[in-house]
Amino acid sequence: MYSKLKGADDFTKDFIFKFRYLYFFDADEIGISKRIENLNSELKLELPIEDGKILDNLDSEWGCYIFHRDQDSGDLEDILIEMIGEKSQTLITESEKYLESNELPEKRQKEFVCIAGEEKYKTSKKYKKKKSLISVTGQLQFSGMSNAVFIANTDHFNLENLNNNPHCVKIANLFS
């Protein structure tokens, strides 16, 4: 859209538009290579995107980062839990114990709705242990706040941690 703003007039003739599109996904259990394959299939660029790299294509820059715990699986939560654990493994261990000793039955891990006087549970399970683990650790620092607020404001992710974490370094390089 913005690339079409350039015209022959004195005001826009010298505009140079170059956009950088960055995609972020979890590897989950399907893996990094399959995520990238799916992304390339959807984008249909002349050259394929590679994990953690910037590609010049069609007068724009394209890149992606696939969050992973090990060689080919995992997610953002794995990275965050590892980073929190580097500062306080006891906090992670005790939070895990709390979650395990207070786990609700599967039925209660689904969304509960009450419509027109009828109470029921929806079909899909909403509980994610790793997200809950981050939430429990975060509540000790920022009561009542969401995981996003915790991630943005916690001292678990200070400049030194971010500069030394290989995942964070690769992500930062996508922006430079």
Q: What is the pLDDT, as a whole number, of residue 172?
A: 95
* pTM, rounded to two decimals: 0.83
The dihedral over CA atoms of 68, 64, 153, 84, expressed in degrees to the nearest 10, equals 10
Q: What is the pLDDT, as a whole number, of residue 70?
A: 81
Q: What is the pLDDT, as a whole number, of residue 58?
A: 73
Mean pLDDT score of the chain: 91
Q: How far apart are CA 114 and CA 120, in angstroms?
A: 6
Q: What is the pLDDT, as a whole number, of residue 4?
A: 65
User: What HEC string does the chain produce?
Assistant: CHHHHCCCCCCCCCCCCCEEEEEEEECECCCHHHHHHHHHHHHCCCCCCCECCEEEECCEEEEEEEECCCCCCECHHHHHHHHHHHHCHHHHHHHHHHHHHCCCCHHHHEEEEEECCEEEEEEEECCCHHHHHHHHHHHCCCCCCCHHHHHHHCHHHCHHHHHHCHHHHHHHHHCC
Q: How far apart are CA 168 and CA 55, in angstroms?
A: 19
Average pLDDT rounded to a whole number, residues 141-152: 93
Least confident of 17-21, 27-31, 45-49, 168-172: 17-21
C-alpha angle 79/109/156, rounded to 5°? 25
Q: What is the pLDDT of residues 113-131, one digit of tens each?
A: 999 999 999 989 999 999 9
Average pLDDT rounded to a whole number, residues 72-96: 94
Q: What is the pLDDT, as a whole number, of residue 2?
A: 57
Average pLDDT rounded to a whole number, residues 32-45: 95
C-alpha distance across the termini of the chain, in Å: 24
Average pLDDT rounded to a whole number, residues 46-65: 91
Is residue 71 scored above 90 in pLDDT?
no
Q: What is the pLDDT, as a whole number, of residue 3?
A: 60
